[in-house]
Amino acid sequence: MKRKLIAAIGIAGMMVSIAACGGGDKKSGAEPKELTVWLTVDAQNNWPGLVKAADAAVKKNHPGLKINHEYYGWPDKNTKLDAVLATDKVPDVVEMGNTEMLSYMVKGALAPIDPSKFDNSDQWLDGLKASVTYEGKEYGVPYYAGGRVATWRKDIAAASGIKSTPKTYKELTADLDKVQKKQGDKFSAWYQPTRDWYSAMSFVYDAGGSIAKKDGGQWKGNLSSPESQKGLTEFKNVIDKYMHGDKTKDESDRYIVYGQGKSDMIFGAAWEGATAADPKNDKTGKLKDNLENFVMPGPSGKAMPVFLGGSDLAVPVKSNAQALAAEWINAFTGSKGQKGLMAKGNLPNNKTDLATMKADPKTEVPATAAESNWFVPMAPGWGQVEKEQVLQTMLQDIGTGKKSVAAAAKEADAKIDKVINTK
């Protein structure tokens, strides 16, 4: 990925000095006649009307402007984007998964933006704002978010005399103890894949720890800190007590496993429970109308901080239509756009709109859960940490008992320190 990005940006691209998404055509100074927008197929399939509305709003201010759209799938998106960024004919707006933003920001592939030009930028959700920020500058605009919730089976809970979802971690573990005793040791009261670092790091951040922290201009692994180890220890307790499946698995097929009916609860992306209940995945025939979501309580006494997934929109540094691109992004992700995205089941990019979802009983749980959130360290070498699966290896070593929490965390920190500051 690094080699592709270096080639994509090029020396000329790295040397360009740009005001924050301002100005017109960099070559002639004239206003561009075309704007090219690249989005994933999610927009094409699920909210094409919102795309048309953004187009219409921008065209109203710029008569004669032609807006071109291309839609790409997630599996081949970055390969296609890297290839076009190596040329002089780049799209003006690109959609990025929020975890993908960092490597492009580090390499200078994206133009900085002026947050004041975008609706509700002072209210962007913390985790989403972090995903577009590098070394004090913003290089993108949060588009929408997806949170994480706890999901359990009402019938299994009722069979153990449990009448309502837990509000505290103490209540949660007490309920799971009842379920585990009732169902036996071949059943997972909480199906929690050991290598699921998104869930594990929620325990770490809930305990006041972190994956890494910046100290004196340099990032260092922080998993060995007392706070982080406290979170990792509680995560291990969950694995030991309630997870009776394969302790070398990740979360990629959690919805499929959940659909097999050998577990009561999961803690994952909000869509996973509903997908497990799809007739194609539900091997029990009992999940539909029998699943209940709730805000995951944390051992700290507060709601568990969750990782926010989602997408951002950015402007390539080589774009000749940066001002128009910023205008289109605001038309699409601004106040009107967010309402449309929320109506399609997405979480908004800002706290103001999130509050309206929290007030609605139908969306209260995911909205409340998303209020407390975290994001990965915005360090230049974070991509390499992910590539080497440092966290997954540590968690598997802890969950299987191969290493103690302290030893596994110390080893993970050493691996992190080797690469996290390298561009």
The answer to whether 264 and 192 are in contact (CB under 8 A) is no
| Stated pTM of the model | 0.90
**Parallel, antiparallel, or unpaired: how do β-strands 34-40 and 148-153 relate?**
unpaired
Comparing 191 with 10, which gets the higher pLDDT?
191
The answer to whether 315 and 326 are in contact (CB under 8 A) is yes
Q: What is the pLDDT of residue 8?
A: 33
- Indicate if the pLDDT at residue 385 is higher than 90: yes
Query: What share of the chain has pLDDT > 90, as a percent?
Result: 91
Reported as a pLDDT band with limits 50, 70 and 90, residue 13 is: very low
- Indicate if the pLDDT at residue 157 is higher than 70: yes
For residue range 300-349, list pLDDT tens digits in order: 999 999 999 999 999 999 999 999 999 999 999 999 999 999 999 999 99
Average pLDDT over residues 46-64: 97
The torsion defined by the Cα of 417, 392, 291 and 345, in degrees rounded to 10, comes to: 50
Comparing 118 with 26, which gets the higher pLDDT?
118
Cα–Cα distance measured from residue 89 to residue 369, given in angstroms and rounded to the nearest whole number: 41
Residue type, 84: V
Q: What is the pLDDT of residue 37?
A: 98
Average pLDDT over residues 14-35: 57
Q: What is the pLDDT of residue 9?
A: 33
Average pLDDT over residues 359-388: 96
Cα–Cα distance measured from residue 295 to residue 277, given in angstroms and rounded to the nearest whole number: 19
Average pLDDT over residues 398-416: 98
- Indicate if the pLDDT at residue 138 is higher than 70: yes
What interhelical angle do 390-399 and 226-242 show, nearest 10?
A: 50
Cα–Cα distance measured from residue 380 to residue 360, given in angstroms and rounded to the nearest whole number: 40
Q: What is the pLDDT of residue 30?
A: 80
Average pLDDT over residues 148-168: 97
- Indicate if the pLDDT at residue 248 is higher than 50: yes
Q: What is the pLDDT of residue 5?
A: 33
Average pLDDT over residues 352-356: 96
The angle formed by the CA atoms of residues 106, 118 and 146, to the nearest 5 degrees, is: 70
Integer distance in angstroms from the first to the last C-alpha of the chain?
A: 11
Q: What is the pLDDT of residue 26?
A: 53
Cα–Cα distance measured from residue 311 to residue 295, given in angstroms and rounded to the nearest whole number: 23
The torsion defined by the Cα of 356, 359, 364 and 367, in degrees rounded to 10, comes to: 30
CB atoms within 10 A of CB 88: 11
Helices (H), 69-140: 77-85, 101-106, 126-131
Mean pLDDT over the full length of the chain? 93
